[in-house]
Amino acid sequence: MAQNDAAFSGSIPQLYDDKLGKLLFAPYAVDLARRLPWMVASVLETAAGTGLLTAELVGFLGPGTQIVATDLNQPMLDHAAKKPGLEGIQWQQADAQAVPFGDASFEAVVCQFGVMFFPDRVAAYREAWRVLRPGGHFLFNVWGPLAANPVMAAVVEGLAGRYPQQKSWFLERTPCGYHDPDRIESNLRAAGFSDLRIETVKLPGLLRNPLDAATGLCQGSPMRAEIEALEPAGLDAATRDAAAAVARRCGEGPRTTPLLALVIEAHKEG
């Protein structure tokens, strides 16, 4: 993983939320939240980002559920904490590979499209196992291959045409770089989980228009730093090239666009 692949600061949290929320993350947030038992008493969310899954947890789980939402990036948490309806959440900056909570502290640990960013996934999974109570649930999702997610694939296609010298892009390297079920299962078993299930889930995202999608992915993610390193004054032009590629592959919008992810459910035996 490149050094800046986990950096979400500056204007990125707002763009991430506004441009990518309904396109990529909201459908899977609904799916993940509804896989938890309604009466679960305590939930730890890692890599909570701007709180898109957090909001679904608040809306779906019982009113007495304790929700602790953590992320390595404080700017993302600051953005999330300002959202209405999330005032009761305990927000805390924390590294998922070493969370500051005691053993058996939570009935569930959840993570929405975050484990791909962890340098040591086995360590993060081991921490999830450690803080779970016996019988607890560990739920997370990861993106499928880049080619199976047309909007993201189109953005990379548009940027590759402008910058043929770039050997790999953030989207293919990190968000869409951890989708082998055997690898995921092996990592989970190494961390102590033996009761697990991996499911391929296809859902529709809302493509408002190609420019919104390209802006979100080119300017609302660490890919922004990649573009600016290649062409310091080229961010807007690169975004337009990416938008043109999205329009060619996915249409002008508003419309739904196919998404593919893996959803993983693991339990701590007890």
**206 DSSP β-pair partners:** 256
pLDDT of amino acid 91: 98
Q: Is 109 helix (H, G, I), strand (E, B) or coil?
A: strand
What Å distances lie between residue 4 and 10, 53, 106, 187, 258, CA to CA?
13, 23, 31, 24, 28
pLDDT tens-digit readout, 18-29: 999 999 999 999
Q: To the nearest whole percent, how much of the chain has pLDDT over 70?
A: 96
pLDDT of amino acid 5: 45
> Helix H segments across 112-222?
121-131, 150-162, 170-173, 181-190, 210-219
Mean pLDDT along residues 161-180: 97
Token reading at 185 = 């299962």
pLDDT of amino acid 9: 45
Q: To the nearest whole percent, how much of the chain has pLDDT over 90?
A: 91
Residue 13's pLDDT band (cuts 50, 70, 90):
confident
Token reading at 212 = 């919104």
pLDDT at 69 over 50: yes
pLDDT of amino acid 8: 54
Q: Hey, where are the domains in the chain? A: 12-267
pLDDT at 214 over 50: yes
> Can you say whether the dihedral through the CA atoms of 188, 260, 42, 9 is positive or negative?
positive
> Is-contact 127 140, C-beta < 8 A?
no
Q: Is 103 helix (H, G, I), strand (E, B) or coil?
A: coil
Mean pLDDT along residues 220-240: 96
pLDDT tens-digit readout, 72-87: 999 999 999 999 999 9
pLDDT of amino acid 38: 87
CATH 3.40.109.10 fits 12-267, yes or no: no
